[in-house]
């Protein structure tokens, strides 16, 4: 494909402005909120959502869910934590390996990874593998958080 084939024929129409948030379904909203606060995200808001518009949006009937929105300290990234009361969520595999199909990992750029890991362990965080040094640029790790979410941390080496 040539570069000319990749250009938008009508600039400004149908373009992405930003990524607004990533939603993650959890079974314990309080524990998930506490985990992500310990990580360093800031609480932005919470709500209960239900009704026919929600049902039609997500393609389920009788939806009632609580959501908590967390934001990164720079204000640009958001994480929506969702707990469905109805209908009941099907069980997933909270220990699914990192190569499982589907979205299940979120990465954060951090400073002082060791301090963050120490803060997250009381909230159930466990390393998936090891903290590794990638070339001479990053320290990286995967850890498992609430509902089996894999959270990756990247600390730039200066």
Q: What pLDDT was estimated at residue 90? A: 82
pLDDT in tens, 91-142: 878 788 877 777 678 999 999 999 999 999 999 999 999 999 999 999 999 9
Write a three-state SS string for 55-100: HHHHCCCCCEEEEEEEECCCCCCEEEEEEEEECCCCCCCCCCCCCC
Q: pLDDT band at residue 88, thresholds of 50, 70 and 90?
A: confident
Write down the pTM of the prediction: 0.85
Angle, CA 89 vertex, CA 86 and CA 93 arms, to 5°: 165
Q: What pLDDT was estimated at residue 10? A: 66
Which residues face 80 on adjacent strands?
23, 69
More confident position, 123 or 158 = 123
pLDDT in tens, 40-82: 999 999 999 999 999 999 999 999 999 999 999 999 999 999 9
pLDDT in tens, 10-39: 666 787 778 889 999 999 999 999 999 999
Q: What is the DSSP letter of 148?
A: G
Residue 85: pLDDT above 60?
Answer: yes
Distances (CA, A) of 42 to 19, 139, 153: 18, 24, 17
């Amino acid at each position: 494909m040539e570069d000319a084939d990749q250009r938008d024929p009508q600039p400004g129409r149908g373009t992405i402005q930003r990524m607004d948030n990533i939603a993650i379904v959890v079974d314990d909203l309080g524990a998930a909120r506490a985990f992500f606060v310990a990580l360093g995200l800031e609480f932005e808001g919470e709500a209960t959502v239900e009704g026919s518009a929600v049902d039609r949006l997500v393609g389920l009937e009788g939806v009632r869910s609580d959501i908590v929105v967390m934001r990164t300290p720079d204000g640009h990234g958001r994480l929506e934590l969702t707990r469905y009361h109805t209908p009941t969520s099907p069980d997933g595999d909270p220990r699914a390996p990192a190569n499982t199909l589907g979205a299940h990992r979120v990465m954060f750029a951090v400073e002082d990874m060791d301090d963050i890991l120490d803060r997250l362990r009381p909230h159930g965080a466990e390393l998936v593998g090891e903290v590794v040094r990638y070339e001479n640029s990053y320290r990286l790790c995967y850890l498992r958080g609430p509902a089996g979410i894999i959270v990756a941390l990247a600390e730039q080496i200066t």
